[in-house]
Structures are given as C-alpha cells and as structure tokens.
C-alpha cells in the first residue's frame, strides 16, 4: 500500500509494546540497522523498517490495547522472521555490539515440494524479549 511520497506501507505490521522506548529504538536502529519512517511522542512511537520489513514500536502504557498483563519475555509463542538481502552485515553488527544470540547463525533446509530451499538464519531477543529471526534465502 502506498500512502504518501511513494513510501510503501505493508498491509500487516506488528506493533510491539516496549518497556523503555529509547532503549528499544536504539537497539533497532543503531544495532540492527532499522530506519525510522515515522516518529511520534506522547506516547513514544516509531514506525521503522529494514528493507521491506516493517515494525512499529510503542512505549508501554496501561491505557494501550493490552489484552493481559505483559510479563517478560514479551511475545511468547511468536517469532518475527525478517528476510534480508545480506545476513552477514546484520550478523556482524549484532556480534560487534555483543548481543546474545538465541540461536547461532546456521543454514536451515526446507522441503518446498519440488526442491529443497536453504535459508541462512540466526535468532535473537530484543530488550523486551521479542524473538527476532533474521534470514536470507540461499540459492
């Protein structure tokens, strides 16, 4: 969906409640390399992207759309797969910043019918525990 200035807005974008907005925004932008598309204050909010992957971050508030008490790690039962063009660039950034990995960089193979696909991937948790899976399709 294109709304303005030829910016592409995905039709489904996860919005993550975060406990310390400045820490989370720094993690996503300075460590992982996301860019800020939209920034708002009160409550703190950012719409961010890494290539075509988009997320929203919002400072946790008791007035927000909370369906239950948030207990760390947040996002239990879900991982966010973020497809990238060059996983090594992001992996080096993560290692340079001493981020603990949930799962090391490895190649995973998937049977997709008429052939086996290879996906290079690693997983980490953001400051609130959301599980992020960075992946690159390997021919």
Q: Answer whether residue 10 is part of any domain.
A: no
Assigned domain for 7 exists: no
Whether the predicted pLDDT of 2 surpasses 50: no
What CATH code is carried by the domain that includes residue 19?
Answer: 3.10.180.10
In the structure, what pLDDT confidence band is assigned to residue 4 with cuts at 50, 70 and 90?
low
Say whether 74 sits in a helix, a strand or coil. Answer: coil
For residue 125, being part of any structural domain is answered with: yes
Which residues constitute the domain of residue 79?
A: 15-61+75-138
Query: pLDDT, tens digit, for every residue of 66-94?
Result: 888 889 999 999 999 999 999 999 999 99
Is 129 inside a domain boundary?
A: yes
pLDDT the model gives residue 95: 98
Confirm whether 110 is domain-assigned. yes
Kindly tell me if the per-residue pLDDT of 3 is higher than 80. Answer: no
How many domains is the chain built from? Answer: 1
Decide if 70 is inside a domain.
Answer: no
Mean pLDDT confidence for 43-49: 96
Q: Is the pLDDT of residue 1 over 50?
A: no
Query: Is there a domain that residue 66 lies in?
Result: no
Residue 91's closest CA among 72, 75, 99, 130? 99
For the whole model, what pTM was predicted?
Answer: 0.91
Quick: pLDDT tens for 108-127.
998 988 889 999 999 999 99
Would 9 be classed as within a structural domain?
no
Q: CA 137 → CA 53, 56, 84, 121, distances in Å?
A: 15, 25, 8, 9
């Amino acid at each position: 969906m294109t709304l303005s200035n030829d910016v592409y807005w995905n039709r489904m974008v996860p919005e993550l409640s975060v406990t310390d907005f400045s820490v989370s925004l720094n993690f996503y932008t300075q460590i992982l390399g996301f860019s800020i598309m939209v920034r708002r204050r009160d409550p703190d909010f950012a719409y961010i992207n890494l290539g075509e992957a988009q997320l929203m971050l919002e400072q946790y508030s008791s007035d927000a759309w909370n369906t239950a008490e948030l207990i760390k790690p947040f996002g239990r039962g879900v991982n966010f797969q973020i497809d990238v063009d060059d996983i090594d660039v992001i992996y080096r950034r993560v290692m340079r910043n001493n981020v603990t990995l949930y799962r090391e960089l490895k190649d995973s193979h998937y049977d997709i019918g008429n052939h086996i696909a290879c996906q290079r991937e690693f997983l980490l948790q953001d400051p609130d525990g959301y599980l992020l899976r960075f992946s690159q399709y390997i021919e």
